[in-house]
């Protein structure tokens, strides 16, 4: 098992400060396609008692997590008899600057679309869930 990153430890410590915190943690392993695939671990922590969420992205081969914060969240579909669909936009903050935005579309437990848009040049990278590399506690790169 990997040790917790300093960012995850700080997020959990901040949330644990409130008694009876309802913490939920989720991570997903994602990879892009193409000749030079990019792989990343997307992790979020939610405290439902205070309606707070935060997280980080950890790229394959990197030991440094990049903090992300929720910029917006909206319901995109409310199908009868099925889980609602949502779109979340997460801002990537690296070395004090906003480097880009992760757009996550999800329905129930499934991520239906995941993109990263670079703030520097506007390039868009598309990712898919990488179930083959999903471990019990983290991505197995």
pLDDT, position 122: 97
Average pLDDT for residues 113-123, to the nearest whole number? 97
Please give the Cα distance from 115 to 136 (Å, whole number). 24
Q: What percent of the chain has pLDDT over 70?
A: 85
Q: What pLDDT, on the 0 to 100 scale, is given for residue 55?
A: 96
What pLDDT sits at residue 7? 57
Give me the DSSP letters along 23-55. Answer: EEEEEEEEE--SSS--EEEEEEEEETTTTEEEE
- pLDDT-derived band at 25, boundaries 50, 70, 90: very high
Q: In the structure encoding, which two tokens stand for residue 21, read together?
A: 């915190």
Residue of higher predicted confidence among 88 and 83? 88
Inside any domain, residue 136: no
- For residue 102, the domain's CATH number is 2.40.160
Mean pLDDT across the chain: 87
CA distance 91 to 98: 7
Residue 85 counted as domain residue:
yes
Residue 62 lies in a domain: yes
Say if 139 falls within a structural domain.
no
Of the candidates 95, 111, 27, 45, the one whose C-alpha atom is nearest the C-alpha of residue 103 is 111
Is 134 inside any structural domain? no
Q: How far is it, in rounded angstroms, from Cα 55 to Cα 109?
A: 17
Nearest-angstrom CA–CA distance, 95 and 82: 41
Question: Whole domain around residue 93: which residue ranges?
Answer: 6-16+27-129
CB of 57 closer than 8 Å to CB of 102: yes
pLDDT at 82: 81
Which pLDDT score is estimated for 1? 46
With respect to residue 141, please indicate whether it lies within any of the assigned structural domains. no
Domain count, the chain: 1
pLDDT, position 79: 77
């Amino acid at each position: 098992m990997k040790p917790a990153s300093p960012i995850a430890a700080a997020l959990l410590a901040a949330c644990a400060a409130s008694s009876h915190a309802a913490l939920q943690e989720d991570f997903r392993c994602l990879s892009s396609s193409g000749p030079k695939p990019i792989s990343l671990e997307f992790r979020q922590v939610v405290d439902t008692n205070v309606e707070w969420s935060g997280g980080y992205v950890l790229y394959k081969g990197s030991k440094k997590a990049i903090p992300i914060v929720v910029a917006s969240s909206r319901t995109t579909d409310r199908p009868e008899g099925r889980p609602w669909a949502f779109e979340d936009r997460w801002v990537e903050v690296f070395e004090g600057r906003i480097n880009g935005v992760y757009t996550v579309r999800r329905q129930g437990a499934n991520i239906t679309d995941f993109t990263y848009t670079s703030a520097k040049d506007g390039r868009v990278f598309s990712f898919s869930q990488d179930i083959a590399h999903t471990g019990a506690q983290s991505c197995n790169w």
